[in-house]
């Protein structure tokens, strides 16, 4: 098998440049490999100053200027494309709607699915480009039959394949991740950027959610959904506290519950369930979070869909550990059984299946089965 991030042919490559160090080095490597590279920065807000300022975001005016300066140093053409309306509809509005429904979405995963490898890729292909290049740490492997596989990055500590598990065959065929096969540390990537004369070499990494300017997710949601007083109850339904909006909680949450009365056993309580219908949040002990199985919807396969049950590992968070599972597609859904119970599994999150380092596919968690027998 050969790595499609370094094919022998000279390709027309559109490099998505966020204004950060990873995407700048990825674009530079693609150009150095002999490809015809054009840089593009995605304007994702009608008012970019409403997104993060300084070094913590990826969608600001400052980031656009940093990306332009990097493209100038690399010596490639550079453009800014306005995808603000698509981003608002497919990522921001989806984020708000998911929380309103009591689910916990991953906006970065949705952005990769709907923006970078859908809207951006479609426009790139229409303009005659062969591939979209990003600074993600993952690897696309081209098999002897010409099909592609998505694999973890060579350095598992930097691996970002979880948020790319939504990519299908067509998207993988036009994806390029020049950083995926490197074992260089982030410090070495920054040193490479400095050697290349890229001013973003010392720019801090972005964190949190780019479209929440102050990092206050609950405040962001409240500004769009309003406040709605409701009860916090224990497993027996007894009121133990109150809240100003069930959307401000996520399953497995411990901090910020504002429960006035301690549990009888004096142990911490965690969010077990969120009911948007009656605006109620249920809390209980940590062991009540144990999940033995889940059902996920909207599966997307990075290759041929499994035809029956199989043994895999599953990852449930962007930086979470793998856990052994048995999984089977059934009726347009994905049924997953954990070999050992896991905690903190929330509807709306993505479950991504792996076969070794290969990404098999992903799906959105719809419901779970608790070890104590309660379905959520």
Residue that has been written with the tokens 């720019």 in this structure: 203
Residue 133 annotated to the active site: no
Residue 5 · residue 178 · CB < 8 Å: yes
Positive or negative: CA dihedral 215, 83, 63, 136: positive
Cα–Cα distance measured from residue 174 to residue 133, given in angstroms and rounded to the nearest whole number: 9
Cα–Cα distance measured from residue 123 to residue 238, given in angstroms and rounded to the nearest whole number: 54
Stretch (H or E) spanning 65: helix 61-74
**295 token code pair:** 């059902």
Residue 361 · residue 165 · CB < 8 Å: yes
Residue 302 annotated to the active site: no
**244 token code pair:** 């100003």
**268 token code pair:** 């911490």
Instruction: Catalytic residue, from 108, 111, 133, 302: name it.
Output: 111
Cα–Cα distance measured from residue 10 to residue 1, given in angstroms and rounded to the nearest whole number: 19
Instruction: Catalytic residue, from 58, 59, 108, 210: name it.
Output: 210
b/e burial code for range 53-73 (CB count within 10 A of at least 16 → b): eebbbbbbebbbebbbbbbeb
Taking each helix axis from N to C terminus, what angle separates 21-32 and 61-74, rounded to the nearest 10 degrees? 20
Residues catalogued as catalytic: 111, 210
């Amino acid at each position: 098998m050969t790595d499609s991030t370094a094919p022998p042919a000279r390709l027309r490559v559109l490099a998505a440049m966020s204004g950060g160090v990873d995407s700048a080095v990825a674009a530079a490597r693609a150009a150095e490999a002999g490809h015809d590279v054009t840089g593009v920065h995605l304007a994702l807000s009608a008012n970019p100053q409403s997104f993060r300022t300084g070094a913590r975001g990826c969608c600001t005016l400052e980031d656009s200027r940093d990306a332009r300066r990097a493209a100038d140093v690399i010596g490639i053409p550079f453009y800014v494309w306005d995808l603000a309306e698509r981003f608002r509809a497919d990522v921001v509005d989806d984020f708000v709607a998911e929380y309103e429904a009591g689910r916990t979405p991953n906006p970065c995963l949705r952005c990769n699915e709907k923006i970078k490898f859908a809207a951006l890729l479609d426009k790139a292909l229409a303009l005659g480009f062969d591939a979209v290049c990003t600074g993600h740490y993952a690897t696309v492997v081209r098999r002897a039959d010409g099909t592609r596989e998505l694999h973890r990055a060579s350095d598992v500590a930097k691996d970002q394949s979880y948020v790319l598990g939504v990519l299908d065959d067509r998207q993988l065929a036009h994806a390029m991740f020049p950083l995926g096969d490197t074992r260089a540390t982030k410090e070495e990537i920054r040193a490479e950027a400095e050697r290349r004369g890229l001013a973003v070499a010392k720019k801090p990494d972005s964190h949190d959610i780019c479209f929440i300017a102050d990092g206050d997710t609950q405040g962001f949601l409240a500004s769009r959904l309003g406040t709605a007083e409701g009860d916090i109850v224990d497993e027996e339904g007894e009121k133990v506290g109150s809240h100003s909006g069930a959307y401000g909680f996520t399953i497995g949450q411990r901090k910020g519950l504002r429960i006035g009365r301690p549990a009888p056993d004096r142990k911490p309580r965690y969010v077990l369930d969120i009911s948007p219908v009656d605006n109620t949040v249920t809390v209980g002990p940590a062991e009540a979070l144990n999940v033995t199985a889940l059902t996920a919807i909207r599966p997307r396969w990075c290759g041929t869909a499994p035809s029956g049950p199989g043994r895999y590992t599953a990852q449930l968070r962007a930086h979470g550990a793998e856990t052994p599972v048995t999984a089977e597609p059934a009726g347009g859904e994905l049924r997953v059984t954990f070999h050992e119970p896991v905690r903190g599994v929330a509807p709306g999150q993505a479950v991504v299946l792996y076969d070794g380092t290969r990404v098999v596919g992903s799906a959105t968690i719809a419901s779970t089965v608790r070890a104590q027998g309660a379905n959520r």
